[in-house]
């Protein structure tokens, strides 16, 4: 379990440093598979059918379906790289380290009511959420923002798998279904944006505002 969490932290740093969209998609997919395995290891002793099913569904969606959908989107839109992000890659990684420290700081503030959780779980999950949020605000391509959303959701999912494991199979499945439809609808939106504007650069989506300048 700790191994998965360390893997999560390292892949986050890699994401911050990487500008090639196809690499980013693969990294996020790897995170998804790791989370699927995490779902197996967090249940009570002995594997329940619910845990196995949840694990299989999340590996299938996050490891196979999402990367396929997103790879198709970048082929359609013919973007390979994140063009000129708002924050450069070196700065991103530096900020990532700061975020990691912040996540550990937050962990020391919030005492867990039960002590049988892996000590890394809270900081690793919060770090992943923060990285996801950072990717959404600092990258311009619509596709990077979807990736950021997925990373953030991975972090929340990891937190939930470890700390809300009584939540059960149905809610977990509902969450996955929602995320799947979200990625699907966002994918369609990206397709339309690309057709309408010939780019998927969200910085240039700026027609709607309150006052004419």
Partner 1 sequence: MIAPPETMAAALVLVPAVAGAAAFVIRRHSARRGLLIAGALVHALLTADVCLRGGDPGSSGWLVLDATARLFLGITSALFLTAAVYALGYLRREPPDERHDFQEDVLFSNAPEAVLTGCLLLFLATMSLVVLSRNLGLLWVAIEATTLVSAPMIYFHRHHRSLEATWKYLLICSVGIAVALLGNFCLAVAAAKAGQGSSSLGLDPLVRNASHLNVPWLKAAFIFLLVGYGTKMGLAPLHTWLPDAHSEAPSVVSALLSGALLNCAFVGILRAQQVLAAAGEAAFGQGLLLILGLLSIGLAGVFILGQTDFKRTLAYSSVEHIGILALGVGLGGAGAFGSMLHAVNHSLAKGMLFLLAGNILAEYRTKSTAHVRGVPGALPVTGVLWGAGFLAICGLPPFGLFTSELTILKAALDQGRTGVAVAYLALLALVFVGLTTTFLGMLQGRTTTPGAGRSRRESVLEFAPPMALGALVLAMGVYVPPALSATLHEVARTLGGF
Query: In the bound complex, what is the minimum distance in angstroms from residue 63's beta carbon to partner 1?
Result: 20
Which of 45, 196 has the CB closer to partner 1? Answer: 196
202 scored as a contact of partner 1 (CB under 8 A): yes
Q: Which of 101, 99, 77, 70 is nearest to 87 (CA)?
A: 99
Q: Which of 100, 95, 103, 121 is nearest to 41 (CA)?
A: 121
Site for partner 1 in 142-201 (CB under 8 A): 142, 145, 149, 152-153, 156, 159-160, 163-164, 166-168, 171, 174-175, 177-178, 181-182, 185-186, 189, 192-193, 196-197
Q: How far is CA 151 from the centre of its chain?
A: 1
Residue 81: strand pairing partners? 20
CB 29 within 8 A of CB 63: yes
19 φ/ψ angles, rounded to the nearest 5 degrees: -110, -15
Q: Which residues bind partner 1 (CB under 8 A)?
A: 110-114, 129, 133, 136, 142, 145, 149, 152-153, 156, 159-160, 163-164, 166-168, 171, 174-175, 177-178, 181-182, 185-186, 189, 192-193, 196-197, 202, 205-208, 210-212
């Amino acid at each position: 379990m700790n191994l998965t969490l360390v893997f999560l932290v390292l892949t986050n740093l890699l994401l911050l440093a990487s500008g090639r969209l196809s690499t980013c998609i693969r990294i996020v997919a790897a995170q998804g598979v790791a989370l699927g395995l995490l779902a197996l290891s967090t249940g009570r002793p002995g594997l329940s059918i619910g845990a196995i099913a949840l694990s299989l569904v999340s590996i299938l969606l996050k490891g196979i379906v999402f990367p396929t959908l997103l790879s198709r989107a970048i082929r359609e839109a013919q973007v390979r790289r994140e063009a000129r992000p708002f924050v450069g890659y070196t700065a991103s990684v530096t900020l990532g380290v700061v975020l990691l420290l912040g996540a550990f700081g937050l962990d020391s503030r919030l005492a867990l009511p039960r002590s049988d959780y892996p000590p890394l779980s809270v900081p690793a999950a919060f770090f992943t959420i923060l990285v996801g949020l950072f990717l959404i605000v600092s990258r311009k391509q619509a596709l990077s923002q979807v990736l950021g959303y997925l990373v953030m959701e991975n972090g929340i999912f990891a937190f939930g798998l470890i700390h809300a494991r009584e939540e059960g199979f149905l809610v977990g499945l509902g969450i996955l279904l929602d995320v799947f439809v979200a990625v699907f609808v966002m994918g369609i939106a990206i397709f339309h944006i690309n057709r309408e504007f010939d780019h998927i650069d969200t910085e240039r989506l700026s027609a709607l505002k309150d006052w004419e300048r």
